[in-house]
Structure 1
Amino acid sequence: MRKSLYVHVPFCEQICHYCDFNKFFLKNQPVDEYVEAAVEEMKKTAAAFPQHEFIETIYIGGGTPTSLSSTQLKHLLEAIPNNFTLADTTEWTVEVNPGSADKEKFEMIKQAGVNRLSIGAQTFDPDLLQKINRDHKPAQVEETIRLAQDAGIDNLSIDLMFGLPGQTMEQWKDTLSQAAALPIKHISAYSLKIEPKTVFYQMLNKGTLKLPEQELEAEMYEYMLQFLREEGFQAYEISNFARNREESLHNLTYWDNNEYYGIGAGAHSYMDGVRRRNHGPLPKYLKAIAEDKLPYLEENPVSRKEMMEEEMFMGLRKRLGVSKKKFENRYDQTIDQAFPGIITGLKQQGLLEETDYYIYLTETGLLLGNEVFEQFLAG
């Protein structure tokens, strides 16, 4: 079941201190060459792994896709329906940094077929924006939303972060209040994770990074759950909230453990039971395409046991949880047969609940999700 496509644009006009995605400072990069290579990879991928179903979700991520010029971005977007067959109702998302796109760029994006935007707000506190090295002002979030709506794109999501260096509960409450007041349909809100090869990782090792206590971070999460529920945002995944059932269908592809195409430097894909990762460095990625190869750095066949493990720890991220019937249909055995005793033990600890149809995290389990997920990897 492969109905989704991810395309990676690895260029940024400024590098955030927390970001560990494959990205490069835009200036002096071979952007035109990269766009052509990504288009060529689409052609090669579509030929090597023919579609059996319509593409129902597309996500253009980064990096900052809107750091491309309108001409470059248009070429990349138009190549997608030229190489893949889309459904009439395809959800097509582009990541946007506030202030990174003008009226003309949004109109071009809309005309190309994009119908959803994910806007990287992160916080509405100007001091925190500076600490994490974001290059936009809080007011530019609302301006970006207005420009998008004027262009006819009204399925809008914003990204938020909590647990930021020096962040207080009052700052977090203010950010949530400002976010909920916007005409948006979706919020993704993630706690800060310090990843290797980031500026924050270096600062942490030097002892110069002051992070909130874990207890405060947990309080921020619990407050967010209650506040967003009151504001009409339903939690459908640990870190994702939607008004009026406007969930991110693309993200659900991952949490439902479905296969997907991945295009671009450093992109991941899951096709025909094999997880693949593309070369990340631009020279290696471009060289592979120039040599008429698919740009895979590694290919890892997923065993049946690994598929079942992934079904559980990704599916349990969803508030609905893991479907017992879907699991049994996919793997010809029940969850209890695949993981004997684990569900019972986690229920006794108050971390899981079970109905006739689903197994899902309790409110306590939400806070201890990683501990729950580890139970399905122990064997």
Structure 2
Amino acid sequence: MAALLERVLRRFGLAAGAEVTIEANPGPDERGDLAGLRAAGVNRLSLGAQSLDAAELRRIGRRHRPEDVVETLQAARAAGLAHRSIDLLYDLPDQAPATWAATVGRALDLPVDHLSAYALTLDDPDAEGLTGPAGDHLPVRPGARRWRRTAAAAQDGDRAADAYALLDERLAAAGFAWYELSNWARRGGESRHNLAYWRRRPYAALGPGAHAFDGVRGRRWNAARLDGYVAALTPADGSPPRLPPGGGERLDERTVTAERAVLGLRLREGIDLGLARHPAVRPALEWASTHGLVEPAPGERIRLTLSGRLVSNELFARLV
């Protein structure tokens, strides 16, 4: 990691006070050398906690324990990583409201200034990297597919909405403000790279499976296979490196407008009235206003209400 950051620094430079985030799983065998990462320039840790209930972690096939989450965050703080975040999953199979409330309470006791929470999605077997209680993580295996089918049948939209609303209320009372649909932070703890995605800022793609955006219309992505990526950058015949395999697209004006509206409405800051009045956006927002899903925001803008956040996918479907 130190060598990689050094090469990035030499090639591109690094702004003073830049956010340098590393994602890790809890546990001493997975979190890496936190002190070494801090010395290399990392200043933010995003930790995949997912739950703080031991039985729940076993049920979704995670190897770590709640104690590992606590110990990793304490080690990160001791190492000097100024910003620390965890992510949690709700609407898990057999997740009782009391269990979720207890996880939220434990999360508020952790040394973090940022929290992300996502409803479990099971339509894509690889989306959450879930394994199931037997540790069977490959989606082609019958056991994993059977586990996912059972888990999907047990999900409940009302339970998910209640879990989100409880989390939002408890976090607000503890000084965490929502700034994006799935993200809450104390003042100054917002993830800057996260905000860059929703604000359609340009970003580069380094590594297999990475995505890039030019900030206007162009998107590109690298294929996920490591062998193809390495072969493109280090051709065996000694020829110059080339772009790794992948794909790209050039967005048309209609898609750009819809994307600006959808991504902007994910944020607490919302979208400006000019975009809200665009002919491709206005009908959906008029429908949302009729149902109490949007409200005025500072600076002549419009944003989602709590009710709007709970059914945001329905609004977004009308925009695209």
Query: Which range, TM-score by smaller chain?
Result: 0.7 to 0.9
Q: Secondary structure at the match of 2:61?
A: coil
Instruction: Report the equivalent of 2:257.
Output: 308
Match of 2:210 among 267, 272, 294: 267
Structure 1 residue 106: deviation in Å?
1.2
Is 232-241 or 210-219 further displaced after alignment?
210-219
Structure 1 residue 342: deviation in Å?
3.1
Q: Aligned partner of 1:267: which letter?
A: A
Structure 1 residue 205: deviation in Å?
6.4
TM-superposition CA deviations, 1:238-265 (whole Å, max 9, x none): 1111112421111001111222111111
Q: Secondary structure at the match of 2:278?
A: helix
1:172 and 2:100 correspond: yes
Match of 2:117 among 181, 186, 189: 189
TM-superposition CA deviations, 1:284-317 (whole Å, max 9, x none): 2222222311114111012222111111111101
RMSD: 2.2
Report if aligned partners of 2:31, 2:72 keep a CA contact under 8 Å in 1.
Answer: no
Report if aligned partners of 2:258, 2:281 keep a CA contact under 8 Å in 1.
Answer: no
Q: Aligned partner of 1:316: which letter?
A: L
TM-superposition CA deviations, 1:19-53 (whole Å, max 9, x none): xxxxxxxxxxxxxxxxxxxxxxxxxxxxxxxxxxx
Tell me which of the two structures has the higher relative contact order, counting C-alpha pairs closer than 8 angstroms and 6 or more residues apart. Answer: 1
* TM-score, normalisation: structure 1: 0.73
Structure 1 residue 280: deviation in Å?
0.8
Q: Secondary structure at the match of 1:262?
A: coil
| Structure 1 residue runs without a partner (length 5+) | 1-72, 328-333
Higher-strand-fraction structure: 1
Structure 2 CA distance for aligned equivalents of residues 173 and 342 of structure 1: 34
| TM alignment of 1:82-161, pairs within 5 A | 82-100=10-28, 105-161=33-89
Instruction: Report the equivalent of 1:299.
Output: 248
Sequence identity percentage:
34
Q: Secondary structure at the match of 1:260?
A: coil
Instruction: Report the equivalent of 1:9.
Output: none
Is 314-323 or 346-355 further displaced after alignment?
346-355
Structure 1 residues 289 and 100 mapped into 2: Cα distance closer, same or farther (>3 Å)?
Answer: farther
Q: Secondary structure at the match of 2:246?
A: strand
Match of 2:232 among 278, 284, 288: 288
Match of 2:189 among 246, 253, 256: 246
Structure 1 residues 150 and 214 mapped into 2: Cα distance closer, same or farther (>3 Å)?
Answer: same
1:348 and 2:294 correspond: no
Structure 1 residues 158 and 340 mapped into 2: Cα distance closer, same or farther (>3 Å)?
Answer: closer
Q: Secondary structure at the match of 2:204?
A: strand
Report if aligned partners of 1:101, 1:144 keep a CA contact under 8 Å in 2.
Answer: no
Structure 1 residue 196: deviation in Å?
2.7
Instruction: Report the equivalent of 1:203.
Output: 146
Q: Secondary structure at the match of 1:261?
A: coil
Structure 1 residue 340: deviation in Å?
4.1
Structure 1 residue 102: deviation in Å?
8.6
Is 268-277 or 98-107 further displaced after alignment?
98-107
Instruction: Report the equivalent of 1:278.
Output: 222
TM-superposition CA deviations, 1:122-141 (whole Å, max 9, x none): 10111111122211111111
Report if aligned partners of 1:106, 1:148 keep a CA contact under 8 Å in 2.
Answer: yes
TM-superposition CA deviations, 1:149-184 (whole Å, max 9, x none): 111112111111111111111111111111101121
TM-superposition CA deviations, 1:195-238 (whole Å, max 9, x none): 33445671256546653422111111111111111111111111
Q: Aligned partner of 1:289: which letter?
A: L
Match of 1:317 among 262, 266, 273: 266
Structure 1 residues 100 and 273 mapped into 2: Cα distance closer, same or farther (>3 Å)?
Answer: farther
